[in-house]
Chain A
Amino acid sequence: NAGVTQTPKFQVLKTGQSMTLQCAQDMNHNSMYWYRQDPGMGLRLIYYSASEGTTDKGEVPNGYNVSRLNKREFSLRLESAAPSQTSVYFCASSEDHRGTYGYTFGSGTRLTVV
């Protein structure tokens, strides 16, 4: 009964370092998403994958890359971290690409870039 699992939960990076955030879902959902949440700005879509084998940019894709490894897994990579990427990152999944039935979110990754 895991739902959406994200790792790690916390991470501190130095400017210029790289890292990959991992996300896996066990609900057989087709679509997966990466959001960042900053105070006062709500959830902003970074990248999404409507189905296995496809990925598309969201509202704030600069500085990020993604990989839809298979139907279950969707990773987010920061190639050269910047302080502006300090945020809470959420992975989410939905049954279809329209989000018709809403999203299930992972527990989040709190990232600090110093």
Chain B
Amino acid sequence: QKEVEQNSGPLSVPEGAIASLNCTYSDRVSQSFFWYRQYSGKSPELIMSIYSNGDKEDGRFTAQLNKASQYVSLLIRDSQPSDSATYLCAVTAGTGGFKTIFGAGTRLFVKA
């Protein structure tokens, strides 16, 4: 079992819709959770961080964390073509020196 799992996609949504990206992780004592956006040919860019159960909103982005289910998600409201990218989930493990593990990413395509 991979430590951080994401559906590779592509996830295709129409412009203006809500895009829902999901991630599960295996280390129960993980402490910090992140979403990065990576445009094709570019480097990952941190867009959201979440540390406790519940929702965290930042503009059109909402991160959701459920530690009991070992699940973290990213919602993008009013999706725009410029949101088309690969979204990487990252989890900072609570064991083994607090290293950060990245998922392989979900490709999102927003159709105009």
Chain A contacts to B: CB under 8 angstroms: 35, 40-43, 45, 48, 56, 58, 90, 97-108
Contact = CB atoms under 8 A, between A and B. Distances in A.
Interface in B72-112: 88, 90, 92, 97-100, 102-105
A97 B100 CA distance: 10
A90 B90 CA distance: 15
A99 B45 contact: no
Given A43-B88, A99-B100, A107 B42 contact: yes
Interface residues of B, number: 23
A90 B44 contact: yes
B43 A107 contact: yes
B20 interface: no
Nearest to B49: A102
